[in-house]
Amino acid sequence: MDAARAINHHADHPGFAGAGGVLCGLVFLLVGRAKARLAADTAQISAQDHVVDVGCGPGTAARVAARRGARVTGVDPAPIMLRIARLVTPRRAPITWSEGTAEALPVRDGSATVVWALATVHHWQDVDKAVAEARRALGPSGRLIAIEPHSPADATGLASHGWTQQQAEAFGALCRDAGFGDVSVAGHGSGKGAVWVVSGTRL
């Protein structure tokens, strides 16, 4: 039932490691570009930004932000993802790769202008703690952005790795309760490329 599905309904995912992790990382390199561009456009990334990419995977979105001039901290709990990210990223790119989780971001208080999570919130262990952590990492007027694929209420398997409208709206409400303003919940795209975009501004 839609109303019963938690925001982080895949929090029990075992993570990525070994040969399977490498394969997933390579797949993510191919399929994450549209979400990365949408996130950068939504945040209006510029050279004044410090982006924290939560669950950065092999770094596709981090590189998009860096190409627009931003300084980026890519955070992921899987060492294999960070290894791939380092291998495919030019050394001169202004990106720092750090092992960490949404609930414990390895950045200073108020040091980020953007915190985004692209198709990863449904894996977070503690959504309330992670949203509070994003607020800690952001400076005043900093932007939190979450993008998740549309997922039907009765979806199973890979198709369930995303959000229903209820889940997207629940995350938006959580952000408001955590001290974010101008919270927006919007759908983008259609068909297999449809996503939910939830954004808010740190007050």
Strands 180-188 and 195-202, by their bridges, are antiparallel
Q: What is the pLDDT of residues 49-87, one digit of tens each?
A: 999 999 999 999 999 999 999 999 999 999 999 999 999
Q: What is d(CA 52, CA 58) in angstroms, rounded to the nearest whole number?
A: 14
Tokens 């990525």 -> residue: 16
Q: Quick check: 121 and 171 in contact, CB under 8 A?
A: yes
Q: What pLDDT is stored for residue 107 in this prediction?
A: 98
Q: What is the pLDDT of residues 12-37, one digit of tens each?
A: 887 887 777 677 777 787 788 999 99
Residue 145 has pLDDT above 70, yes or no: yes
The more confident residue out of 46 and 4 is 46
Q: What pLDDT is stored for residue 2 in this prediction?
A: 44
Q: What is the pLDDT of residues 166-179, one digit of tens each?
A: 999 999 999 999 99
pTM: 0.92
The three-class DSSP label of residue 24 is: helix
Q: Quick check: 41 and 67 in contact, CB under 8 A?
A: no
Burial of 200 (0-12, 13-18, 19+ CB in 10 A): buried
Residues 6 or more apart whose Cβ sits within 8 Å of residue 111: 50, 137, 139
Residue 1 has pLDDT above 50, yes or no: no
State the DSSP string of 147-162.
EEEB--TT--GGGGSS
For the chain, percent of residues with pLDDT exceeding 90 = 81
Q: Quick check: 121 and 97 in contact, CB under 8 A?
A: no
Q: What is the pLDDT of residues 80-133, one digit of tens each?
A: 999 999 999 999 999 999 999 999 999 999 999 999 999 999 999 999 999 999
Q: What pLDDT is stored for residue 36 in this prediction?
A: 96
Q: Quick check: 53 and 62 in contact, CB under 8 A?
A: yes
Class for the domain spanning 3-202: alpha beta
Q: What pLDDT is stored for residue 4 in this prediction?
A: 65
Q: What pLDDT is stored for residue 182 in this prediction?
A: 98
